[in-house]
Amino acid sequence: MKLYEINEEIARLTDTVLVDEETGEIIGDADEFCKQLDALQMEKKRILEYLAKIVLNTRSDIAALKAEEERLKSRREKLDKKAEKLLAIIERECGEKTDLGVATLSYRSSTAVEVSDSKKAVYWLMLNGHNNCYRMKEPEVSKADVKALIKSGTEVPGCAIVEHRTYNLR
């Protein structure tokens, strides 16, 4: 039986039970009702325990994969450094475009703008009308301060305190 079927069966079972309004006792076979309800609750608990085991196993697998990722990352970084050192030796020895048999060492030129003093550069660009050459950062909302403001009773348009529920299985 699936979890949703168990919940439906529990709801159906509790809907069909008749209760004496004055005494609060179950009319009919109370023992049979309790026996059926207990059986459904036990089955539900068994399924939930199984799901919890799956979650714990999955977390274990995640931890193992993270450790493997770190190991492989460390190995890759070592190989990157080794390749860079070897390439530096080849570059130092050749100095110009060279056919090495299995590979060819070649050079490519590129340019990039390096900004040593961004305040001076932005000031000059603003004064000289080059508004497309710089960006102004958009203002950000300070969530902690807005939270305090809302808690004090002030309404802030576009902002609300939202409560989240997180689940943890250990």
Average pLDDT of the segment spanning 78-105: 91
For residues 26 and 66, the model is more confident at 66
- Please enumerate, as own/partner, the contacts of 154-158 that have beta carbons within 8 Å and a separation of 24 or more: none
Q: What is the pLDDT of residues 88-101, one digit of tens each?
A: 999 888 988 889 99
Q: Is the pLDDT of residue 169 over 70?
A: no
Cα–Cα distance for residue pair 128/166, rounded to 1 Å: 53
pLDDT at 163 over 70: yes
Mean pLDDT (whole number) for 79-83: 96
CB contact at 8 A, 98 and 104: yes
- For residue 7, the model assigns a pLDDT of 94
Phi and psi, residue 104, nearest 5°: -120, 130
pLDDT reported for residue 47: 96
pLDDT in the model for residue 137: 87
